[in-house]
């Protein structure tokens, strides 16, 4: 075991990976280092930003440094005393169509230079690959994975088993099962770069979920080429424990200035929207007037500060259980990320099972998409499958009140006092639930459970009403009360509930009644409710 999980949120894991060189915390960003071209040295990555792990390309090192890297070792060659992961050169195979090295040579070379984490020479799936071509890459990668165990000589290297299949999610799942059946320490989703460059983050959701759900859960999952920091929270929420990026340097060479929610051209900026050491004492014009090499270096440093800051913010969000909120904010950075969040909602039942059942803070609900967050999904599931009403004769549906929790309100005490006038025997035949937005229907007994009274709601939208009505219909079908009484305050939601529940009760053989009151929680309103129930219980309605 090289991976210890300490905390979870959504599919994310806050944990520690153990290597022969030392430990590093996940989620982890591995900056990509090209030893031949360094805007920021590996030593600076650790000293300035606290990166304990980086990734470099074994194929490029073999071509440029050959025997020197073997004699010095990868850590001395790079001047880095943290964990060094090496990629195999498969990306060059995708870009150039071939690499001048055999799979067994790549394995032996990574062992010889002392990589802490090493990768087999897999066969990447191109974005334009046909299904047949994608299947070929899956099978050939798996065959190379099988051959690793007879070729390797060192036991202290963590080996990465890449997963291929590209945009074909079922092939990604097949590849994940093949690679997961072998004793790899880490898995990595290969070939996502073209998907991300095309901003098809919704496709990425399917790819990552197919990989995560079909590999052993005790192994970290790496995402090759994560790129921009605005995508980090999406990758982590999907279950990626590690991801690498060379974007900090690539963007710097192109004069692009990263922020967590987007990218600026340096010449477009009048002010720096950042207070990192690069930006705090400079203006954009200062960098534009610098020599090219100095400007690129400072941009790379700034980009790394932003990337590092985002990783730390994500770790803190996992720690306090607020990754959904963090991801929702980032999803507004680009329409493609918003589409990805919608796709993520399709996996809400799976994500709920992986999320903690306790949470220290309340939740924010801004849009109907937030009804797919784990806390809400869990409430719906348990309401329908686990909750047993104390009475199945009459369901009384009263509209939400503004105060929370309702069970500590004046209205609650007055309602119970009014129902007591029916007498103990009759009152026990009535089960009270509240209806309203955003949660649809809340039994009085569950009123104080998280998140029913521990949330902030932005306000009604059509999507919320549909969700609430659908849940009320499911609840009434599942619990099969003899009679349902809806007290309507005339709101659009109440009228929608009235129509939907009337049809539902008719289809399941329950009686349905509605009582229209302008002020249902006033003294007169409660008196009318009790009188209506009294007549119903005595068979006069």
Q: Mind telling me the catalytic residues? A: 87
Angle between the N-to-C axes of helices 169-180 and 131-151, in degrees from 0 to 180, rounded to the nearest 10: 10
What is each CA distance from 466 to 247, 294, 328, 384, 444, in whole angstroms? 42, 56, 21, 17, 22
Smallest CA-to-CA distance from 347 within 217, 215, 232, 211 is with 211
Residue 537, number of CB atoms within 10 A of its CB: 19
Q: How far apart are CA 108 and CA 58, in angstroms?
A: 11
Contact 452, 410 (CB under 8 A): no
Instruction: Look at residues 407, 352, 410, 392 and name the one whose alpha carbon lies nearest to residue 526.
Output: 410
Residues 6+ apart with CB under 8 A from 474: 384
**Which residues share a beta bridge with 187?**
161, 221
Q: What is the DSSP string of 304-371?
A: HHHHHHHHHHHHHHHHHT-HHHHHHHHHTT-HHHHHHHHHHHTTHHHHHHHS-S--SS-EEE-SGGGG
Q: What is the 3-state secondary structure (H, E, C) of 402-460?
A: CCCCHHHCHHHHHHHHHHHCCCHHHHCCEEEEEEECCCEEEEHHHCCCCCCCCEEECCC
CB 508 within 8 A of CB 478: no
Which two structure tokens, joined as six digits, stand for 36? 């031949």
Instruction: Return the half-sphere exposure (C-beta side, CA atoms, 13 A cut-off) of residue 266.
Output: 25
Pair type for strands 53-57 and 28-33:
parallel
CB 220 within 8 A of CB 241: yes
Q: How far apart are CA 134 and CA 129, in angstroms?
A: 6
- Both structure tokens of 8: 């979870």
Structure tokens at 445: 């007994």
The long-range contacts involving 496-503, CB below 8 angstroms and separated by at least 24 positions, are 496/465, 496/469, 497/397, 497/435, 497/468, 497/469, 497/472, 500/469, 500/472, 500/473, 501/397, 501/472, 501/473, 501/476
């Amino acid at each position: 075991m090289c991976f210890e999980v300490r905390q979870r949120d959504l599919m994310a894991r806050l944990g520690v990976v153990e290597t022969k060189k030392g430990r590093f915390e996940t989620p982890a960003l591995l900056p990509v280092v090209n030893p031949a071209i360094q805007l920021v040295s590996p030593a600076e990555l650790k000293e300035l930003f606290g990166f304990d792990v980086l990734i470099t390309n074994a194929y490029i090192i073999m071509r440029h440094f050959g025997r020197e890297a073997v004699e010095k070792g990868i850590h001395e060659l790079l001047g880095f005393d943290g964990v060094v992961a090496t990629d195999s050169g498969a990306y060059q195979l995708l870009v150039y169509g071939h690499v001048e090295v055999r799979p067994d040579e790549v394995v032996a070379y990574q062992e010889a230079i002392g990589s802490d984490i090493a990768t087999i020479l897999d066969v990447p799936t191109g974005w334009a690959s046909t299904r047949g071509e994608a299947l070929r890459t899956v099978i050939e990668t798996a065959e190379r994975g099988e051959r690793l165990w007879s070729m390797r000589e060192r036991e202290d290297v963590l080996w990465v088993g890449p997963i291929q299949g590209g945009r074909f999610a079922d092939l990604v799942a097949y590849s994940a099962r093949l690679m997961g059946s072998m004793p790899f320490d880490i898995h990595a989703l290969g070939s996502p770069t073209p998907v991300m460059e095309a901003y098809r983050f919704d496709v990425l959701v399917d790819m990552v979920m197919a990989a995560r759900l079909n590999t052993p859960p005790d192994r970290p999952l790496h995402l090759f080429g994560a790129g921009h920091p605005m995508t980090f929270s999406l990758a982590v929420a999907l279950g990626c424990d590690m991801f690498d990026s060379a974007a900090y340097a690539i963007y710097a060479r192109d004069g692009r200035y990263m922020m967590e929610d987007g990218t600026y051209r340096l010449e477009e900026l009048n002010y720096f929207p950042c207070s990192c050491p690069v930006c705090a004492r400079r203006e954009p014009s200062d960098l534009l007037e610098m020599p090219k090499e100095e400007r690129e270096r400072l941009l790379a440093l700034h980009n790394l500060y932003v990337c590092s800051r985002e990783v730390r913010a994500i770790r803190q969000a996992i720690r306090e259980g607020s990754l959904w909120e963090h991801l929702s904010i980032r999803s507004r950075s680009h329409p493609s990320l918003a589409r990805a969040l919608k796709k993520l909602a399709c996996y809400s039942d799976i994500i709920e099972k992986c999320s903690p059942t306790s949470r220290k803070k309340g939740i924010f609900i801004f849009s109907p998409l937030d009804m797919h967050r784990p806390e809400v999904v869990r409430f719906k599931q348990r309401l329908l499958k686990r909750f047993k009403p104390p009475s199945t004769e009459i369901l009384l549906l009263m509209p939400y009140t503004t105060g929370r929790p309702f069970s500590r309100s004046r209205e609650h005490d007055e309602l119970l006092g009014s129902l007591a006038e029916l007498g103990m025997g009759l009152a026990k035949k009535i089960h009270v639930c509240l209806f309203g937005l955003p949660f649809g229907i809340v039994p009085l007994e569950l009123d104080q459970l998280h998140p029913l009274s521990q949330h902030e709601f932005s306000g009604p939208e059509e999507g919320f009403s549909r969700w609430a009505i659908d849940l009320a219909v499911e609840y009434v079908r599942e619990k099969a009360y003899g009679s349902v009484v809806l007290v309507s305050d005339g709101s659009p939601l109440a009228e929608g509930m009235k129509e939907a529940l009337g049809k539902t009760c008719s289809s399941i053989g329950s009686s349905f009644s509605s009582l229209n009151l302008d002020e249902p929680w006033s003294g007169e309103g409660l008196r009318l409710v009790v009188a209506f129930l009294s007549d119903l219980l005595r068979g006069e309605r």
